[in-house]
Structure formats: C-alpha cells, structure tokens
Structure 1
Amino acid sequence: MKLTTWIMSAIILLGLSACSNVDEKPEVEKETEETTPVSQEPVIEEVEEVVEEEVIVEEPEPLYQLNEANWTLEPIKDANPKAVLLTIDDAPDRYAVEMAKTLKELSAPAIFFVNGHFIDTDEEKANLKAIYDMGFSIGNHTQTHVNLKDSSEEQQKDEILKVNETVEAVIGEKPKFFRAPFGVNTDFSRSLVLQEGMLLMNWTYGYDWEKQYMDAASLTNIMVNTEYLTNGANLLMHDREWTADALRGMVEEFRAKDYDFIDPTTIKGIE
C-alpha cells in the first residue's frame, strides 16, 4: 500500500514538472534596433552672384593749355593763373630718384624727361619705375640727347621711338610729353611726336647748366626771382647735384610767393 502510494506520488510530481516546462516560454532575446539615419536632401546654399561693376576712371579735366609762343601754361576757365610747371631733364641719371622723393614729400608735381641711355640697365629701369610709381609724369627727351637738326629723319625716328618703347615696357605706358634736346625741333620730329600722341613742349627759362648757378643758394635765388618768372612759367631743370640740393628751398620759396604747381595730368593735349 505504501509502495503504491509512493509510486502514485512520483507519477503526480512528474506530471506537474512536465506541465511546468510546457507552460514556460523560452526567453526571446530582443534584437538591437539599429537607428537608421533619416534620409535628407542635400542642403544647397544659395550663393548670391556678385556682379563686378565696371570702374570708369575719369581723366582729370584739363585746367591748363600750352602757349607755344612762350611755352607757358595758360589757365582754362577757373584754374589758378598763378602757377608754374616743374620739369626735370636728363633723368634718371644720378639724382632723379632723390629729387622725386623730395617733390613727393612736398606734394609738388613735375615732369621727368628721360634719356634712353639712362634707362638701359635693370637698375636704371627700376629708377624710372620708382619715379613713375611716386606719381610723376614721364616725358621723352630722346635716346642719346642729340641735336635733331643734325640727324636724318631715320635717326630722329630711332631717337624718339626707342625711348617710347623702353618707357612703355617699364611703366606700362608711353611718355605723355616730348622735349627735344637744346629745344631744337624739326618738321619731321614735330610730326612724329604728334603721331605718337605726345605733347611737344619747350621751356620758359632755366639756369642750372650755367656755371654761376651750380650751387643750391644761387640757383634757388635766380629761379624764384628772375625777371622771366611769370604766371604759367615752364621751368627747366636737370638731374644735377646742385639742382637736387636746391629743389626743396625752391619749392618753398615759390609757395611763399603764392605760386601753385601745375599738375602735368591737367594739361590739355594729353587726354
């Protein structure tokens, strides 16, 4: 009887165990959900189109015109009549850059007339460029400083055009002015200068090649107090040591007499 009871108990326990295993669900491992990026359209930044406006550089209005009767500069309309034009020949020999620096410091414009034989080397070309970059006008004074009346037309052409070519190669533009050595022109040179778009000019007075004026004090005195000083005077100077020394005092004394200095870019005929 006890044996029967034990067997029955074992059978019941086995049944319960089986039921327990059937009802219990196996644990399901959760999948890790990967986060998928949200698809986006590419962002296109709108770039505002920049339209470059054409910059129109207006040439200065002519304020003076050349009087070939005495080579002075006459005012146009309301330009100040009491003014003189500074010009320096035979540049850039030895003192032209120094002279340009002095004039720039004094805000005094001028024309530097260059000889071709002074712009042969790289150093000389750099001197020419330095003068131009300081804001000064460049003039043609021939290649070798010859007397044009003693030269053939072919020689005159070479003397004038060679300087134009060299100057243009160095500063990017041809000279605006022409002055013949010794003030001597020919019909051919006049025609060629006009064809090249240069303004032919001479001078009113100058003294720095005369022995008695080869020092700063005497040169300053004669240039500022000469009887030839007149409104619009076209002043001739050269690339010389004594002229370089006199330049500052000369400019200051002209201003003390209420003279202005003519900006070469405002002379009619070089537009």
Structure 2
Amino acid sequence: MNESIKRSFSMKKPKFTERFPLLDIMLTCMTIVLVLCFGYFLFVFLNSSTSATSSLSVTDTIPSTIDEIESSFSGIKIVTEISNDLNAPFAIQYPQSKHIQFNDEVKKYIKTLKYNYLTDIAAYKQNHQTFPSELNISFETFEHNGIYSFVIVKNEYIGDNEGEISIHTFRLNPDTGDRITIEHVFDYHLQHLLEISQLTEERLYQDEALINHLLPEQVAIHTQPIWENFQNFALAENEIIFYFEYNKLANSEAGIPIVAIPYQTINPLLTEFLQALIVEEKTEKPNTAQSAINQQEATKNKEIRNNNVEHEEIPKQKRVALTFDDGPDPKVTTRILETLERYDAKATFFMLGSRVEYYPEIAKSVHEAGHELGNHSWTHPDLTKANNDKIASEIDRTTTIIEEVTGQKPEIFRPPYGAFNDNVLNLTDLSMILWDVDTLDWKHRNASQLLSYVKQNTRDGSIILMHDIHTSTADGLDAVLAYLAENDFQFVTISELSE
C-alpha cells in the first residue's frame, strides 16, 4: 500500500520544477517601480498638504480687522478687512448678500487673490530682505432693472515688481439669487453676439486713449463672437460695460481696456426686460453729489463777488483744486508729491485713518510739502447705512490720527462714495467736500484717459477727484498738470478755493 502511494505521488510531479530567472528579474523590477511610485506620490501629497496648511495658517494668522456694514443697495452688505501687518498689509472690500451661493463665490475669489498675494510675497522675500508691498481690493456697484453688478478692482504691488491690476465682475438678482450671464443679456442669440463682437471691436479702435496701444492680433482674438470673451461685464444704469484683461489686447500703458455701449445703441439686441427699462431711464435721476457741489459753488461765488467789490481792478484767475482720495500710499503718493512739486502745485489729500496709521511717514511728508489734509473716514464705509456710533468713530478716529501724525487737524471731510445724509452732516463739524470732475481713475486705470476726463470737464472752480493709490494716476498726473498750467489754471487747495 505504501509503495503504491509513493508511486502515485511520484507520478503527480508538476510540469515545472523551477521558474525561469527572467521571470524573477521582471517581478523584482516591477516591485521596485511600484515602491518608488508609491513613495513619490506619498512625498508629493505630504509636501503639498504641508504647503497648503502652511499657507492657510499664514493667511489665518495675519492680524486684521473685519467690519460689515449695510450698503446703499438693498440687501447688500459691504465687508471690509484691513491688515496693517508689516509683512503683508492689505485693504479689502467685497459685497455680500442674503444668498449663500453668491457669497461663497465672492469669498472664494477674494480668498484666491489674497492667497496669491501672500504667495508672491513669500517668493519675493527669498531674494530681498525688506520691501514695500500692498494689496488693495475695492468694488463699485451698479443697478439696472433690479439687477446688481459688482465690479471688483484689485491693485497689488510687491517690491520693485510692476504692479498688478485686474477687474472682475459679478452680477446678481438680489431677489432670486440668480447670477446673470452675457447669454441672459442677449437671449442666447448668436447673431446678437456677432453684432456685439463687431461693435466692441469698432469702439476699441475709436478710443483715442487706446488706439496707439492696441495689439491688433490680440484684439481680433479677444473680440471674437464667443460668449466667454464678453463674460466680464457690468450692467450700469444706462450702458453695458465690458472689461478686458490687463496687458492682453493692449500693452500695459493702456491700463485695463474698457468698452461702454449705451443700451439705446443696442436696443434690438437686448433681452426684453432690458429694452423696457430704456424707456424708464429717459428721466434723469437727481445727482446728489452734484447738488452738494452746486450748494458749495453758490456759497463760494457769493464770497468771490464780495471780493470783487473790494478789488475790482484785479482780474480773476481761473483756479482748480486737485484732490486725492484713499491714501496715503508709499509708492503712489510719493510719486504724486514729486510731480506736484515740479509744477509748484498744491493739492488736497483726503486720507483714510487706517492708512495713516500704517504709513505715518507718508502722511507727514504730504503735510510738510504744504498740501491740505482732509478726512475720508477710517475704513471707507457707506456712512448713510451706519449707526451714529459708527459714523462718529469713523470720522473722529481719522481726525485724531491725522492730527497726531502730522500736527494738522483736518477741517474738511469727504464721505466715502460721496454718500451722505442729514445724519452724517449732523454728526461732524467738518465741512463736507465733494467734487464736480470725476476722472474715474479707479475704473479705467489708464494714464491717458485721466487727461481726457480733465479736458472734457474742468472749468474755473472745479474740484477734480483722483486717487493716490493707483499707479496709472501717478503716471498720468504730469500730463494733467501740464495741460492745466498751459490753460492758465492756478492750483489751489480746497480751503483756498473757498477764499
């Protein structure tokens, strides 16, 4: 029995008693490759996680103050975040609504800008010990037929790098939370898109401030009848505004190319509810800012007439008041001061208290150069939506810091956005100052267009609004001063204008 079993086992030998050496080599190589790949991906994952966590922690640990206030647009709040951190200062404003999805989209965009700013600072810091840097994000709100358009403007500079500017828009139906796209505006009609494409290209070449800076091949690409080319737009009161990317279809000297097309020009192309609104908008709305200017002019003219009675033999010289808002800024304000000095021109600077606190030496240099200092609030909120304590704090804190830093107590006040009411007026003894020439430098960021607006609108006694936080304003100021000087305008401060 045992022998038969042995024989049986001996008859069941496997076909291969040993493997080929080549197979062992292949299996070994495959194992090594798999181990190496796993190790590589593990390293990448851990490194990226650490980097993300580190960046997030840096962002979260930067000291900042966050304020939220109602805007003048129903259902919209303005969030303001300011950091005076020595390594990464920033001033950020963005809109929020009652709609979570919209809020998340805006916050995500703002967070991305902030993250990129901090990342750029970290990269620049590898080769530089100390350097100035700043991130400014502000926004403008337009309303058309119940639809809000938010135009978010970013201005960033780090060290000696060329400043970065961008404009990004969001549209919202505040009642439903729906976001409005360019397809909605033109009813998804491709023929309408083609006509808008052609009209936009024509207007770009008709713009005298852009014509010498356009890049024809890029213009053709970015104005093709593709919906995506026209998604960055705003529905303003009387026109649709298209914003194109900086340094894309025009060189950097052109700033951000902007094309505005009145609704009446494209009435047949618009979706029905926009066409109906055109009729409603034929009645002009009162301009609160201009009304206040007229009141100031009436008072000023009365004083001038009294002076003329006493000094009839002295011919009256044309005068203009240059004003700069939202500073001080270490780069732009300094350049503006240098340009003003070349023309022996005095101006008025309406400063934000939060920026005076961070840049006291710049504020002091403005005062020492003989310019007038004005109060522009602490954080640039819409004061018509603030309670009494908030209004008083915004104004009083700014007055205090300006006086502490410069020794000059401001006697004039310009409300953020030019927005004020009786409540704001009653809570300050400072004289309210607005403007009658808006250069829109915050919007176009174009040095050439700065002069264009001044030429079209400036007259004797004008108050010109500019901002000393935009590089393009500093770039274009020399041409503005040269033009005004050639046309016999005398540069005066706001207080001198009232004399």
TM class by shorter-chain length?
0.5 to 0.7
Return closer, same or farther for 1:142/1:119 CA change in 2, 3 Å cut-off. same
Distance 2:452 2:347 in 1: 20
Tell me the residue number matched to 2:347.
110
Over residues 35-83 of structure 1, what are the superposed CA-to-partner deviations in whole Å (9 max), with x where a residue is unaligned? xxxxxxxxxxxxxxxxxxxxxxxxxxxxxxxx84265454622473521
Structure 1 residue 264 and structure 2 residue 499: aligned?
no
Tell me the residue number matched to 1:219.
450
User: Within 5 A, what are the aligned runs for 1:5-20?
Assistant: none
Tell me the residue number matched to 1:69.
294
Task: Decide which of 452, 466, 474 is 1:244's aligned counterpart.
Answer: 474
Root-mean-square deviation (CA, aligned residues, Å) is 2.1
Higher relative contact order (CA 8 A, sep 6+): 1
User: Within 5 A, what are the aligned runs for 1:74-113?
Assistant: 74=301, 76=304, 77-78=307-308, 80-94=316-330, 95-113=332-350
Distance 1:118 1:151 in 2: 21
One-letter amino acid of the structure 2 residue matched with residue 106 of structure 1: Y
Distance 2:483 2:371 in 1: 21
Task: Decide which of 94, 110, 119 is 2:356's aligned counterpart.
Answer: 119
Q: Is the 8 A contact 2:319 2:497 kept in 1?
A: no
Q: What TM-score results when the alignment is normalised by the length of structure 2?
A: 0.37
Q: Is the 8 A contact 2:320 2:497 kept in 1?
A: no
User: Within 5 A, what are the aligned runs for 1:186-197?
Assistant: 186-194=421-429
Structure 2: which 5+ runs fail to align? 1-291, 309-314
Distance 2:387 2:422 in 1: 12
One-letter amino acid of the structure 1 residue matched with residue 446 of structure 2: D
Tell me the residue number matched to 1:185.
420
Q: Is the 8 A contact 2:377 2:416 kept in 1?
A: yes
Distance 1:209 1:255 in 2: 21
Return closer, same or farther for 1:257/1:110 CA change in 2, 3 Å cut-off. same
| Seq. identity, % | 27
Distance 1:130 1:257 in 2: 29
Counterpart secondary structure, 1:97: helix
Larger Rg: 1
Q: Is the 8 A contact 1:86 1:234 kept in 2?
A: yes
Tell me the residue number matched to 2:90.
none
- Higher mean displacement: 179-188 or 202-211: 202-211
Measured after TM superposition, the shift of residue 165 of structure 1 is 0.6
Measured after TM superposition, the shift of residue 104 of structure 1 is 1.9
Distance 2:442 2:405 in 1: 33
Q: Is the 8 A contact 2:441 2:473 kept in 1?
A: no
One-letter amino acid of the structure 1 residue matched with residue 453 of structure 2: I
Counterpart secondary structure, 2:427: helix
Distance 2:477 2:441 in 1: 15
Return closer, same or farther for 1:238/1:70 CA change in 2, 3 Å cut-off. farther
Higher strand share: 2
Counterpart secondary structure, 1:119: helix
Distance 1:234 1:126 in 2: 26
In the alignment of these two chains, the number of paired residues is 195
Return closer, same or farther for 1:81/1:221 CA change in 2, 3 Å cut-off. same
Distance 1:108 1:202 in 2: 20
Q: Is the 8 A contact 1:112 1:139 kept in 2?
A: yes
Structure 1 residue 204 and structure 2 residue 436: aligned?
yes
Distance 1:112 1:105 in 2: 18
Structure 1: which 5+ runs fail to align? 1-66
Measured after TM superposition, the shift of residue 118 of structure 1 is 0.7
- Higher mean displacement: 240-249 or 70-79: 70-79
Q: Is the 8 A contact 2:442 2:467 kept in 1?
A: no
Distance 1:249 1:237 in 2: 14
Counterpart secondary structure, 1:230: coil
Tell me the residue number matched to 1:145.
380
Over residues 192-217 of structure 1, what are the superposed CA-to-partner deviations in whole Å (9 max), with x where a residue is unaligned? 322xxx22111002123464x42212
Counterpart secondary structure, 1:120: helix
Q: Is the 8 A contact 1:205 1:236 kept in 2?
A: yes
Measured after TM superposition, the shift of residue 238 of structure 1 is 0.4
Q: Is the 8 A contact 1:193 1:200 kept in 2?
A: no
Distance 2:320 2:392 in 1: 31
Distance 1:163 1:255 in 2: 33
Distance 1:181 1:265 in 2: 20
User: Within 5 A, what are the aligned runs for 1:4-43?
Assistant: none
Q: Is the 8 A contact 1:208 1:238 kept in 2?
A: no
Distance 2:293 2:445 in 1: 29
Tell me the residue number matched to 2:463.
234
Task: Decide which of 382, 391, 397 is 1:156's aligned counterpart.
Answer: 391
Q: What TM-score results when the alignment is normalised by the length of structure 1?
A: 0.66
Q: Is the 8 A contact 1:71 1:204 kept in 2?
A: no
